[in-house]
């Protein structure tokens, strides 16, 4: 059956007052895009195995400056559809379905 899959919500607020901050913002967004989908400017949803989650968290922590930036990672228990209500335009991808490009 394989590893279980966890639904994860990631939010961040990166200080972009300096060039270094702007680079951190791009890096953290790139890491999030590699593991999930953007649902708002600084909010991502991911479906990860525990192994992927550990790697993902390590990569995110290497991107931030803990004195200037904020990062929140929420592990959601149960199916996200049970707790999710959306309003407005959306371009979500069902991460549990096969992706055809």
Read off the CATH number of the domain in which 63 is found. Answer: 3.30.70.240
> Which residue range(s) make up the domain with 12?
6-80
- List the one residue out of 81, 72, 65, 9 whose CA is nearest residue 38: 9
| Whole-number Cα distances in Å, 81 to 14, 26, 51 | 28, 29, 23
Q: Do the domain assignments include residue 14?
A: yes
Q: For residue 29, is it within any domain? A: yes
- Per-residue pLDDT tens for 39-69? 999 999 999 999 999 999 999 999 999 999 9
Query: What total of structural domains would you count in the chain?
Result: 1
Q: Does 86 fall in a domain?
A: no
25/29 Cα distance (integer angstroms): 6
Residue 74 lies in a domain: yes
Reported confidence tier of residue 85, pLDDT bands at 50, 70, 90? confident
Whole-angstrom Cα distance, residue 55 to residue 53?
A: 5
Predicted confidence at residue 96, as pLDDT, reads 58
Residue with tokens 């791009």: 26
Query: Within a domain: residue 71?
Result: yes
In a domain, 37, yes or no: yes
């Amino acid at each position: 059956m394989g590893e279980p899959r966890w639904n994860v919500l990631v939010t961040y607020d990166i200080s972009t007052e300096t060039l270094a901050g702007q680079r951190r913002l791009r890096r953290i967004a790139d890491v999030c895009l590699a593991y999930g989908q953007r649902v708002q400017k600084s909010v991502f949803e991911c479906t990860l195995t525990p192994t992927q989650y550990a790697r993902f968290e390590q990569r995110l922590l290497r991107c931030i400056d803990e004195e200037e930036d904020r990062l929140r990672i929420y592990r959601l228990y149960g199916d996200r559809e049970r707790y999710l209500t959306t309003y407005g335009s959306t371009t979500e991808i069902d991460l549990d379905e096969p992706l055809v490009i």
